[in-house]
Amino acid sequence: MNAPAQLHGLGQSLWLDNITRDLLDTGTLARYIADLSVTGLTSNPTIYDKAIGGTGAYDIDVRDGAARGQSHEAIFFDLALADLRRAADLFAPIHARTGGVDGYVSLEVSPLLAHDAEATHAEALRLHGLGGRSNLFIKIPGTPEGLTAIEDTIFAGVPVNVTLLFSPAQYLACMEAYTRGIERRVEEGLPAFVGSVASVFISRLDGAVAGRVPDDLRNALGLTVGRQAYVEYRRFFSTDRWQRLANEGARPQRLLFASTGTKDPTASDTLYVSGLAAPHTVNTMPEDTLLAFADHGVVGSPLDADPAVAAVLLARFTAAGIDVEAVGHELQVKGADAFVASWRSLLDRIGAKVGEVPARA
Annotated catalytic residues are 139
pTM of the model: 0.96
pLDDT at residue 358 is higher than 70: no
In the prediction, which pLDDT does 188 show? 98
Mean pLDDT across the stretch 296-309? 92
| pLDDT digit string, tens, across residues 197-223 | 999 999 999 999 999 999 999 999 999
pLDDT at residue 196 is higher than 90: yes
Confidence of residue 56 (pLDDT cuts 50, 70, 90): confident
In the prediction, which pLDDT does 1 show? 84
pLDDT at residue 355 is higher than 90: no
| pLDDT digit string, tens, across residues 154-185 | 999 999 999 999 999 999 999 999 999 999 99
pLDDT at residue 151 is higher than 60: yes
What Cα–Cα distance (Å) separates residue 139 from each residue in 45, 107, 235? 11, 6, 25
Mean pLDDT across the stretch 66-81? 95
Q: Which residue has the higher pLDDT, 27 or 60?
A: 27
Share of the chain above pLDDT 70, in %: 99
The one-letter amino acid code at 42 reads: T
Mean pLDDT across the stretch 75-100? 97
Chain centroid to CA 19: 13
Q: Is the dihedral of CA 310, 311, 316, 317 positive or negative?
A: positive
Mind listing the domains of the chain with CATH numbers?
Answer: 3-355 (3.20.20.70)
Q: Distance between CA atoms of 234 and 107, rounded to whole angstroms?
A: 27
pLDDT at residue 114 is higher than 90: no
In the prediction, which pLDDT does 175 show? 98
Average pLDDT, the chain: 95
pLDDT at residue 359 is higher than 60: no
pLDDT at residue 354 is higher than 90: no
pLDDT at residue 360 is higher than 60: no
Confidence of residue 361 (pLDDT cuts 50, 70, 90): very low
Mean pLDDT across the stretch 241-257? 98
In the prediction, which pLDDT does 53 show? 82
pLDDT at residue 195 is higher than 80: yes
Long-range Cβ contacts of 57-64 (<8 Å, 24+ apart)? 57/20, 57/21, 57/22, 57/25, 58/21, 58/353, 59/353, 59/357, 60/357, 62/350, 62/353, 62/354, 62/357, 63/354, 63/357, 63/358, 63/359, 63/360, 64/360
